[in-house]
Chain A
Amino acid sequence: MTPLRLRTEFIKVVGADGVVDDPLELRTYECDGLTGYRVVPALVLLPRDAAAVAAAVRICAREGVPFVARGAGTGLSGGALPVADGIVISLQRLRSIIEVDPVNRRAIVEPGVTNLDITRAAAPHGLYFAPDPSSQQVCTIGGNVAENSGGAHCLKYGFTVHHIHEIDVVLPDGSITTLGGDSPHQPGYDLLGAFVGSEGTLGVVTRITVKLLPRPASVQTLVADFPSVEQAGDTVTAIIAAGIIPAAVEMMDTLAIEAVEAAVTAGYTLGTAAALIVELDGPADEVAVHLEEVQQLCRDHGTTALNLAASADERAKIWKGRKAAFAAVGRISPNYFVQDGVVPRTRLAEALTRIGTLADEAGLRVANVFHAGDGNLHPLVLYSEANGEHERAEHLSKSIAELCVDLGGSLSGEHGIGMDKACSMPRQFTESDLATMALLRTAYDPAGICNPGKLLPTPRLCGERPGPHHPHPLESAGLIERM
């Protein structure tokens, strides 16, 4: 049965004001942060609690209607892209902070709560939620769980998966279960760990217990300019080799700095080849010693300017510039793609050189912003839709992600595979790797209705994979030949 014919039944579950079917309104859900893909869903549901989510999913399961969960829609890989003739379940109305427990340093929240609101609620207790994706002001914790979001500080603090104790999940058959628990000692398969980062393909999370950390005793942030990205990259390797794990190590190249300064005037040096942002945190004495060492390592590798943030305001300004980088690129280019790939840290310089070559070949500019500490690149491919550069830019962007795989890295460090990179997965994984991942998905979702088409490649979307070459019968007969 089509979702529209189920409208009445959905209204019973989520209320009349919880069903969106107005064509104009539906269009606001046609894409997430990856705006190149657009599909208008048949219906959007806005449930108010977990029971309503479960009831809606049960209807979908009974009728075989595909559904896609959605938070704030800030994802950059099309993970929340609707499915035609399917429904979108928006978690925007599940936005209460149920409890903050400072004694056990955790909070229980609903999935529609924003990342930053968790930290705001924890702040009076001197606590915060560590994962800090650039979109943290608007992105929701439900989306963070789905994507295993990272951010600038995951070099030291890990990803979302390291900061979740327990989740309630509506499974694709409409039943509700709990994964994880009160402590890290849990019996059986680590299904919580496997769920975080599953990109909405294993179920819909409806309640989350997050870990809260005490604010570090001391924080120091410095910006070091370098005459080449290679020198900046080598400095990062040297810092890590010295046994220092900074809270964050970020890098921006000339073009990215130009964009940032045009947008927010954060104080970065225009024209420098690379700026390295190093943030150290921890006990004050520890930070002081490491800060000295980091500055010396920067000098050893030819830094041209060292700028230490003297106050919390100055630190905030540095981060404002860094976090605004994606949007800022809009100042210097009419259109751009944000890419996300990972290379082993020691191959950063090589990756950047090869990205430069690929960009030159494509006749396009690439601005580089990245989490240098963990080799997570965010090349921004600049292009002009008006000049007909879209296809070339898309191809360049894809080539960069696949280059990361070739260098021993990964297609994605934090934005996810979603719709965007599903067809590139065979570049990183073998057929049996992917078939094994599909087993997990089938165990949760045998009917294939939970965010279908995302994460794993499908023949329908990616085309049949070319098999081994078999000569045409006419070729075998010597009647035709191939050049």
Chain B
Amino acid sequence: MTVKATPIGAGAGSLNATPGMTLRPTSLDELQTALADTTRTHPRLLIAANGTAADWGGRPEPMDASVDVTGLSGVLVYNPADMTMAVRAGTPLAVVQDELSKNRQRVAFDAARVARGATLGGLLATADGGPSRQCFGILRDLVIGVTVVLADGTVARSGGHVIKNVAGYDLAKLFHGSFGTLGVVAEVVLRLHPQPRTEATVEIPGTAEEAFAAAGRIVGSALDATALEWVHDEDAGSRLLVRLEGTPDGVTERVVTATALADGRARTLGGEAADAAWRSVAAVADGTDGDTVLRVGSLPSEGPRLVGLIAAVAADSKVDVAVSSTIAAGVHTVRLRGGDRGAHDQVLRALRPVVGAPCTVHRRDGLGPDTSSWVAPPPAAPLMRAIKQQFDPQGRLGNGRFAPWLTAPGPREKKTS
């Protein structure tokens, strides 16, 4: 293990500028030791990897040390015939995909920040996802086993190497979206999918409302689209991107059907145009300096109204809006750009009463320093607190994430006190 006395900020994002020690374990044993041996010397720890989501989930409080998990890297077990792979959680998913492509397999997951080096542990802990959530879900649906290390150094596994498995509680689910507040994800076991023999992208221009209707027809026609993403940005306007995968003949047939369902407005994108279209989807989620990026969940049928509302509020504040919606699932990634000072905060404030809890801030360049990364607590926030209390009673890990949900007493505590 390497131990460096460098500012944590380097890898962990600009929000945490507290100087301190960085622990860089390179094995499960070292990670276990790093946590167990620092309970007194460095009581508060920040877990970080490649920093692709360092400012998601709330501003980290000052820490005594940072645990850099990028040293926990590499494939542990790969069973191509079983279509499972165990990987150290600090491994970038892009590296895993390269390895898998040799056997024409893949992790069916396409969050934008994978291209920027996001690790499996980070992607799990932040509950990220991409357009393929329409068909394959997100990592909660693809991780079949997990090894975690708790704040006191306890190593725990759940799940395993088989896809069908109901023995014990599923800790991978619990750690999904935990933002490093319950423990460190050390290893994950992934279920794999075959790479499609061929794929095609159909583009259907139209508003969110039209896209929702078209997506409904496509789903209803059982075309098994692996992505149905409505994109709106300044460059290309508004359009629904339909990704179809399968055998060459099957895809050709389904492209014809999808096109017919779109009343002649659809066109099939060639290789380069298709790549560019999907890059524009990733660009919404990534944002750039100065942008604010939010992800909002809604009932799918509410999506178009929500998108309209965001557009209206943003226009009032002279903010440019780009949106990427997994339209049939009700997941909308919203990028705010430009506008008056404080305008992004204004948009978020306007959204608050409408969207409720399922709104997360993924880039906050345009938000004021005091603006919370969370809009409203979910009904189960008291349960989250009770679980945090059990898993990390000393409050060692990820302090500041989810603020103020994990610290403020809720109705459950009030009732019993």
Give me the interface of A with B, judged by CB distance under 8 Å: 103-105, 126, 147-148, 150, 154, 158-159, 161-162, 171, 173, 175, 177-179, 181-194, 197-198, 214-217, 237, 240-241, 243-245, 282-286, 289-290, 342-346, 371, 374-376, 408-417, 421, 425, 428-430, 432-437, 439-444, 455-456
Contact B104 A243 (CB under 8 A): yes
Q: Tell me the bound Cα distance from A177 to B377 in angstroms.
A: 12
Q: How far is the CA of A410 from the CA of B173 in the complex (A)?
A: 18
- Assess the A158–B374 pair: CB atoms within 8 A: no
Q: Is the CB of A283 within 8 A of B360?
A: no
Structural contact, B140 and A443, CB atoms closer than 8 A: no
**Alpha-carbon distance between A191 and B385 when the two chains are bound, in angstroms:** 12
Taken residue by residue from 131 to 145, chain B's Cβ proximity to chain A (1 for < 8 Å, 0 otherwise) reads as: 001000110110000
Residue of B nearest to A125 (CB): B220
Closest partner residue, chain B, to A217 (CB atom) = B222
Q: Which residues of B contact A283 (CB under 8 A)?
A: 222-224, 246, 250, 253-254
Q: In the complex the two chains form, is B140's CB within 8 Å of A193's CB?
A: yes
- Verify B358–A216 contact, CB threshold 8 A: no
Residue of B nearest to A181 (CB): B358
Known: A190-B127, A374-B162, A417-B166. A436 touches B171 (CB 8 A): yes
CB-CB under 8 A for A425 and B168, given A103-B216, A282-B222, A344-B161: yes
Say yes or no: A409 contacts B387, CB within 8 Å.
no
* A181 CB → nearest B CB, Å: 6
Say whether B380 contacts A191, CB under 8 Å.
yes
Pairwise interchain contact B220-A126, C-beta atoms closer than 8 A: yes
Residue contact A410 to B412, C-beta cutoff 8 Å: no
| B contact residues around A430 at 8 Å (CB) | 156-157
Q: Which of B133, B154, B329 contacts A435 (CB 8 A)?
A: B154
Do residues B300 and A190 form an inter-chain contact, with CB atoms below 8 A?
no
17 contacts between A and B (CB under 8 A): A171-B383, A179-B380, A185-B358, A186-B177, A186-B358, A188-B177, A188-B381, A191-B387, A289-B249, A410-B160, A410-B162, A413-B166, A414-B166, A429-B157, A436-B150, A436-B154, A455-B169
Give A284 to B253 CA distance when docked, in angstroms: 9
The 6 closest A-B pairs by CB, nearest first: A193-B173, A183-B297, A243-B194, A185-B297, A436-B156, A286-B250
Contacts of A342 on B, CB cut-off 8 Å?
A: 162, 164-165
Q: Out of A181, A214, A241, A442, which one reaches B222, CB within 8 Å?
A: A214
- Quick check: is B386 within 8 A (CB to CB) of the other chain? yes
Pick the contact of B173 from A177, A194, A290, A421 — CB < 8 Å? A194
Look across to chain A and name the residue whose beta carbon is closest to the beta carbon of B154. Answer: A432
User: Given the complex, which residues of A lie within 8 Å of B405, measured CB to CB?
Assistant: 188
CA distance A202 to B311 in the complex (A): 42
Determine whether B259 belongs to the interface, using a CB cutoff of 8 Å to chain A.
no
Known contacts A183-B331, A409-B160: A189-B253 contact under CB 8 Å: no
**CB within 8 Å for A183 and B299 given contacts A171-B383, A190-B140:** yes
Who on chain B is nearest to A160 by CB?
B166
> Which residues of A sit under 8 angstroms from B182, Cβ to Cβ?
189
Nearest-CB distance from A241 to chain B (Å)?
Answer: 6
- Decide yes or no whether B163 CB sits under 8 A from chain A: yes
Per-position binary interface string of chain B over residues 295-334, scored 1 when its CB falls under 8 Å from any chain A CB and 0 otherwise: 1111111100000000000000000000000000111000
Interface contact A214-B220, CB-CB below 8 Å = yes
**Chain B residues with Cβ under 8 A from A194's Cβ?**
169-171, 173-174
Q: Which residues on B sit within 8 Å (CB–CB) of A243?
A: 104, 194-197
In the assembled complex, the Cα of A443 lies from the Cα of B393 at a distance in Å of 11
Chain B 224-237 interface mask (CB, 8 Å, partner A; 1/0):
10000000000000
Partner of B384, one of A191, A215, A432: A191
Residue of A nearest to B328 (CB): A105
**With the chains together, A355 CA to B129 CA distance in Å?**
41
Q: Nearest residue in A to B147 (C-beta to C-beta)?
A: A433
Q: Are A440's CB and B357's CB within 8 A?
A: no
* CB nearest neighbor in A for B145: A410
CB-CB under 8 A for A187 and B174, given A290-B247, A345-B81: no
The answer on a CB contact under 8 Å between B161 and A429 is no
Whether B178 sits at the interface, judged by CB under 8 Å, is yes
Residues B384-401 near A (CB distance < 8 A): 384, 386-387, 389-391
Nearest A residue to B405, CB-CB: A188
Measured CA separation A105–B223 after assembly (Å): 15
User: Does B176 belong to the interface (CB within 8 Å)?
Assistant: yes
A427 to chain B, nearest CB (A): 10
Query: Which residues on A sit within 8 Å (CB–CB) of B195?
Result: 243
A contact residues around B299 at 8 Å (CB): 104, 182-183
B238 at the A interface (CB under 8 A)? no
Contact A183-B162, Cβ < 8 Å, known A105-B219, A283-B253? no
Given A184-B138, A187-B359, A346-B81; A455-B164 close (CB under 8 Å):
no
User: Contact at B224–A282, with CB atoms within 8 Å?
Assistant: yes
Q: How far is the CA of A203 from the CA of B213 in the complex (A)?
A: 38
